[in-house]
Amino acid sequence: MVLALDAMGGDFAPVEVVMGAAAVAGPELAITLTGRGEEIERVLADAEPAARRHISIVEAPETIGFDEEPARAVRAKENSSLVAACREVAEGRADGAVSAGNTGAMLAAAMIKLRRIKGLKRPGLCAVLPTPGRPTVFIDVGANAEVRPVHLLEFANMASIFAGEVLEVKNPTVGLVSIGEESVKGNELVLEAHRLMAASPQLNFYGNVEGRDIVRNVVDVVVTDGFTGNVCLKLMESTSSLIVEEVKKAARRSLLAKIGGALLKRELNDFRKSIDTEEFGGAYLLGVRGLVVVCHGNSSRKAIASALGYAARASRQNLTGKLQERIAGLAAQPAKAGDR
Amino acid sequence: MVLALDAMGGDFAPVEVVMGAAAVAGPELAITLTGRGEEIERVLADAEPAARRHISIVEAPETIGFDEEPARAVRAKENSSLVAACREVAEGRADGAVSAGNTGAMLAAAMIKLRRIKGLKRPGLCAVLPTPGRPTVFIDVGANAEVRPVHLLEFANMASIFAGEVLEVKNPTVGLVSIGEESVKGNELVLEAHRLMAASPQLNFYGNVEGRDIVRNVVDVVVTDGFTGNVCLKLMESTSSLIVEEVKKAARRSLLAKIGGALLKRELNDFRKSIDTEEFGGAYLLGVRGLVVVCHGNSSRKAIASALGYAARASRQNLTGKLQERIAGLAAQPAKAGDR
């Protein structure tokens, strides 16, 4: 198995990215680093020689910055490390592409180079939330600012396959984000999507879930449009880090509190790790012909290694093939009202 | 000044509601309790006799449950405590109405009994988020599942007036929720609303804000549609209470951690109070002809008292009159493309 990794993408590239690759490369997983070979080699000099043998480099001198307009940058920079990683997959030399660079650019490159799965209307970006107890799959976290009901049905089906194959959840339950649990609650988009999802024989549809349920393990898969999903994902991350910061501040406020904080340190650190978004490494673009993973811009080597590990597992499970089967099954169903 | 309070609305009604009223009733603030007089009197027997003199009761034998369909319940139950509270305002006997009952029913009753401010298209429900440092006004948190750009412009203007008059924020900054800071990021609704808000001379418009910014005091007023706002509000509450629970669990995990937790207790409690949604007592329906406040179903007497205090302040500042002036000013501006 080979994964292509954009060595120049991310706030801490190339060092953290390359070292993340070195941490997982081995006889079972070869990594192709795309980027400026000389810089990559300098980082690899510090890596385990054993790992080095399973890493190859594809020269790609250009880079795409975080501020660049995605579609334009992708078209203009064929020789960028990000586009090169997608090209490795498109041309069959790699099983998946991973980048911690410009998310929009990675989505655009994946759409252009890998194209959609046959019969699918819209790929969706799915994140794995580190909710206590067990993780929650959340789709769409930003690939589609504007969606129609049938897109939500597609997201639900793809994320169910992802939860089953990659997280090993059996017959995952699926919830649709709305502003009330009853099927009559929500906006027009959600009311129609609810009908489609309830009528879909492939889905284990739970019904509507509310904002509070997203982090409460009410369902295994939470489905929403890319606008709401993106706002929610960023809000969750910000709220939890804010609270952890405030608890830390509280633990500096007096001498007794400082001692208390010191005694609690191990448990608090364990807890912080358990809600660490790095654990699952990235977000998965479901619905293109190949595995595509986008990592947080601030990814550490640990996050990159974790993303590569999950991508390898997804590839071993033939995630893309199973998504294709499910989408073909959806497309074979008779069209219903609103199913457009 | 007189405020009408739905004595039967809320999980802990009538006891907590009535005791909340008794905590603030006095020569400067009379309270009219609507509900079943006998039950109310039984609770009032435990209240300060001094407060009792400033409390009157309007008999309203019916109640509206949390599960009832709002509009239908309001029309069917003219003699409910919730509708009676709105009627006190509509008929000029009270300056504002407060309920911890069925939120949808309270919104429906307010719309039917009090009607919209002249020239306004849509009232919006605004919450005050207890963000660290200073509070954030968040609108719409659920009155409108489906909105048009001009509704967001109205929300922005009304919430700015609210922040200025009730929270005493000078020239409040206003942010529009989107999935990127640039004005070209978002869905069609947000792109057009951004243009309207940027062109509105009355607003101190900051531009787009992202999900993460909502809790970070980036702006004083955060504007979004009622679907996104409702999901975000519930997600924030759930995420923060989840993290506080997990920190508490961590502090029970070992003997040292228990000692640490005990030493930290005061600081953690102070922190919990600082993010307590009870502090601001409720959400404010802006845009009807009278003050209307809806409280959390689980409101304690403290939350009710706080809501009454803020409502009294809003009434003293003539919030409704100032909203009417602003809306008249908006309506007087020439119509623009998309301003419909």
Q: Delineate the domains of chain A, giving CATH numbers in brackets.
A: 1-117+287-298 (3.40.718.10), 121-281 (3.40.718.10)
List helix spans (H) across chain A.
15-24, 37-44, 49-52, 70-76, 81-90, 103-114, 149-165, 188-198, 226-250, 255-274, 301-316, 319-332
- Integer Cα distance of A158 and A119 in angstroms: 13
- The residue that leads in pLDDT, B339 or B150, is B150
- What is the per-residue pLDDT for A279? 66
CB-based contacts of B159: which residues, under 8 Å, 6+ apart? B124, B126, B137, B139, B172, B174, B221, B223, B286
Amino acid A188 reads E
Beta bridge partners of B292: B97
- What is the per-residue pLDDT for A277? 61
Q: If pLDDT is split at 50, 70 and 90, which confidence band does B335 have?
A: low
Low-confidence stretches of chain A (pLDDT beneath 70): 272-279, 334-340
- What is the per-residue pLDDT for A182? 86
- Work out the mean pLDDT of chain B and round it to a whole number: 91
Percent of chain B with pLDDT over 70: 95
Residue B257, pLDDT above cutoff 90:
no
Give the pLDDT confidence of B276-289 residue by residue, as tens digits. Answer: 666 677 899 999 99
Q: Does B287 touch chain A (CB under 8 A)?
A: no
Give A239's contacts in chain B (Cβ within 8 Å): 215, 235-236, 239-240, 243
Find, in chain A, the residue whose alpha carbon is nearest to that of B215.
A239
How much is the ipTM here? 0.91
Q: Does B45 touch chain A (CB under 8 A)?
A: no
Residue B250 and residue A271: Cβ atoms within 8 Å?
A: yes
Among residues 134-193 of chain B, which lie with CB inside 8 Å of chain A? 142, 145-146, 177-179, 185-188, 190
**CA triplet A111, A115, A118: central angle to 5 degrees?**
135
- The residue that leads in pLDDT, B249 or B85, is B85
- What is the per-residue pLDDT for B337? 46
Q: Does B239 touch chain A (CB under 8 A)?
A: yes
> Which of A170, A174, A169 has its CA nearest to residue A155?
A174
Q: Which of A146, A260, A267 is facing B254, going by the closest CB pair?
A: A267
Give the pLDDT confidence of A228-270 residue by residue, as tens digits. Answer: 999 999 999 888 888 888 877 877 777 777 877 777 777 777 7
Residue B258, pLDDT above cutoff 60:
yes
For residue A80, the SS3 value is: strand
Residue A227 and residue B260: Cβ atoms within 8 Å?
A: no
- Beta strands across the sheet bearing B30-35: B55-59, B30-35, B2-6, B96-99, B291-294, B283-286, B124-129, B136-139, B221-223, B173-177, B204-209
Q: Which of B235, B253, B277 to mutate to test the interface with A (most CBs of A within 10 A)?
A: B235
Residue B210 and residue A234: Cβ atoms within 8 Å?
A: yes
Residue A138: phi and psi, rounded to 5, are -125, 120
> Which of B105, B104, B54 has its CA nearest to residue B84?
B105
Residue B255, pLDDT above cutoff 90:
no
DSSP-derived letter for residue A119 is: T
- Integer Cα distance of B94 and B115 in angstroms: 16
pTM value is 0.92
> Which of B149, B286, B128, B303 has its CA nearest to residue B214?
B128
* String of DSSP letters for A283-304: EEEETBSSEEEE--TT--HHHH
- What is the per-residue pLDDT for B173? 98
